[in-house]
Amino acid sequence: MPKPPKDCMAGTPLFTIADFIEAGRERLALEVIVGGKGLDRTIEEPIVNRPGLALTGFYENFAWKRLQVIGNSEMAFVKSMPMEERDRLFKGLLEHKARLLIYTCGRRPREVLCEMAAKKGVVILSTQMRTFEFIHVCTFILEALGSPRTSMYGTMIEVCGLGVLIEGDPGLGKSETALGLIKRGYALVADDLTCVRKNMATNELYASASPSTEGYMEIRGIGIMHVPSVFGVNALRGEKKLQLVITFRRFRDIIGEIDRIGQSRTTKNILGVDVPNITIPVSSGRDLVNLVETAALQHRLVMAGHDPVTELSRRLHDRARKLGVSSNKKQR
């Protein structure tokens, strides 16, 4: 089995300051004031910290591994000090291992402080964003970069508004089924290899394609195709919440295991999250496109609180009870 690409490796990923700058290129617009080799340093704690107490000289429990954000409040406090005291406070941050300083509101440190940081290998960044806006956006970017993730061999597609992952042995028609769904107006997320990340705040899973293969599909007999070029940009999605896993299995391999009424609900555990899992038997002549679409529609009804198995069971029970009462009356 081929190895997944680096950007789709399993586990909780490590990322560098350079990775963070690249991830926030558009939304954070960070400018590197002092960088050098420090840009290759790993961010050990992907959390924002405002070093208020540290600037007063109190360093106990100073979270030096985090991103130190210096906004208007910090700068106002520092400017209230004599120049020598300002330099001492700044030097104290560096001596207590602070490795990444981010100035907001377009502020920049003095040249002498930049030289001091360069000697210590400290990275200094600047952004035009206001502090509270920067922290808000930065938190989402750090969460995405540091989320636990894994890779799964399967085709991810948006069907009826749901993120559906189709998995199964090679040759069972996963990509062909996805192609049929795309022709019905649904959208591809990833083909063959799907990258999955976990949102720690909501305990939800999000799936996407590897950046190197995004938008491409392999169809046996046709070859590689670029989905947006053939079907238009609406036939492709970026990242999509994973809400249902459909497993294709050969009919002959699961004879006797098939749940004909759908009463038993199974799940698949991915990164500690249980995702609803439906098994569809594959055999000659079965319309897999129609079955996957119907499974997605059925799952939407279940999510909305409508359980057809329970409803039918209730109706049959009520019918049997009424027939029983009627029979008793006739006997009397």
Both tokens of 206, joined, read 């999000």
The CATH code of domain 148-309 reads 3.40.50.300
Please tell me which residue, 199 or 307, carries the higher pLDDT value.
199
pLDDT at residue 181, rounded to an integer: 96
pLDDT of residue 4: 46
Task: Give me the chain's average pLDDT, please.
Answer: 88
**Short-list 273, 206, 197, 208, CA closest to 11:** 197
Question: If you average pLDDT over residues 253-277, what whole number do you get?
Answer: 81
Q: What is the pLDDT of residues 164-176, one digit of tens each?
A: 999 999 889 999 9
Model confidence at 9, pLDDT cuts 50, 70, 90, reads low
Give the pLDDT of residue 297: 92
Residue with the larger pLDDT of the pair 246 and 144: 246
Inter-residue contact 225 to 216 (CB < 8 Å): yes
Over range 213-226, report the average pLDDT: 92
**Buried-exposed string 137-159: b where 16+ CB fall within 10 A, e elsewhere:** ebeeebeebbbbbbbbebbbbbb
Residue 184 pLDDT level (bands cut at 50, 70, 90): very high
If you search the block for the tokens 């939800």, which residue do you land on?
204
The predicted model gives 246-256 an average pLDDT of: 85
pLDDT for 227 beyond 90 = yes
63-90 per-position pLDDT tens digit = 999 999 999 999 999 888 888 888 888 8
* Per-residue pLDDT reduced to its tens digit, 114-128: 998 999 899 999 999
Distance CA 127, CA 149 (A): 29
The predicted pLDDT at position 331 comes to: 61
Question: pLDDT of 12-28, one tens digit each?
Answer: 678 999 999 999 988 99
Overall average pLDDT of the 82-101 stretch: 88
Cα–Cα dist 118/82, whole Å: 23
Kindly state the average pLDDT of the residues 192-221. Answer: 91
Kindly tell me if the per-residue pLDDT of 2 is higher than 50: no
Taking residues 29-36, what's their average pLDDT?
Answer: 91
Is a pLDDT exceeding 70 seen at residue 260?
A: no
Identify the residue with better confidence: 253 or 218: 218
Domain 6-145 coded CATH 3.40.50.2300: no
- Determine the Cα–Cα distance for residues 285 and 95; give it in Å rounded to an integer: 71
Boundaries of every domain in the chain:
6-145, 148-309
